[in-house]
A and B are shown apart, each in its own frame.
Chain A
Amino acid sequence: KQEVTQIPAALSVPEGENLVLNCSFTDSAIYNLQWFRQDPGKGLTSLLLIQSSQREQTSGRLNASLDKSSGRSTLYIAASQPGDSATYLCAVGFGGAQKLVFGQGTRLTINP
């Protein structure tokens, strides 16, 4: 059974700092890994999608890496801003049924 864990559960940092969110998964037979952002009471915004053959993806101030062999992914946020405050979810796609398994999320607060 695939399990996805995100550490830390919550993180509060001052504006301008660079930060790293962690995601680990138990079964390395994945076909992709996706990072999402969720604002309170809202749906999901897809941030980055990494295919299983890729090592990293970048979009603006965001960089996500994937190490399948160790079952880990990191989301790096550079020069954090108060608008980055949200819950960040990691999800892995696996199995022939194209299912996504989500982690519990990291609740990020960027303090002005």
Chain B
Amino acid sequence: GAVVSQHPSWVICKSGTSVKIECRSLDFQATTMFWYRQFPKQSLMLMATSNEGSKATYEQGVEKDKFLINHASLTLSTLTVTSAHPEDSSFYICSAIKPGSPYEQYFGPGTRLTVT
């Protein structure tokens, strides 16, 4: 199998606070993970590529100081939304690449973030 989990599944936070979202590969080690954002009725947009032991690579237009990504181990990547604002409210989904299947991404169930 190739199971990816996310925690929390949903979170509500106040404007100006920070929130951390975890992405874990449960039954495999993932050297590469990806973070996506999905606004209501829109498709997924890649935010950044997370590589274990190195800095994340952010897509154009994504603020790296606002969306902090840490891939500290082969099974865990975290996304921290700093100083959150209502416009950051979205569905955040991570994915991971399983060794041996380098071009197939396994997706987590997503985290719904609401900033009030």
Contact = CB atoms under 8 A, between A and B. Distances in A.
A102 B112 CA distance: 19
B5 to A, nearest CB: 10
Interface stretch (B14-22, B75-83, B99-107): B99-107
B57 A89 contact: no
Interface residues of B, number: 23
Contact of B105 (A43, A89, A100): A100
A32 interface: yes
Interface in A4-57: 31-32, 34, 36, 41-44, 46, 49, 51
**B-side binding surface: helix, strand, loop or mixed?**
strand
Contacts of A49: 104
Interface stretch (A58-66, A69-77, A91-99): A91-99
Given A98-B97, A99-B49, A42 B110 contact: yes
Given A46-B107, A97-B49, A99-B46, A41 B57 contact: no
Interface residues of A, number: 23
What 5 pairs across the A-B complex have the smallest Cβ distances? Answer: A43-B109, A43-B110, A44-B107, A102-B43, A102-B44
Interface of B: 32, 34, 42-46, 49, 57, 91, 93, 95, 97, 102-110, 112
Interface of A: 31-32, 34, 36, 41-44, 46, 49, 51, 89, 91, 93, 97-105
Given A43-B110, A99-B49, A103-B43, 11 more contacts: A36-B107, A41-B112, A43-B109, A46-B104, A89-B43, A89-B44, A91-B44, A93-B103, A98-B105, A100-B34, A102-B44
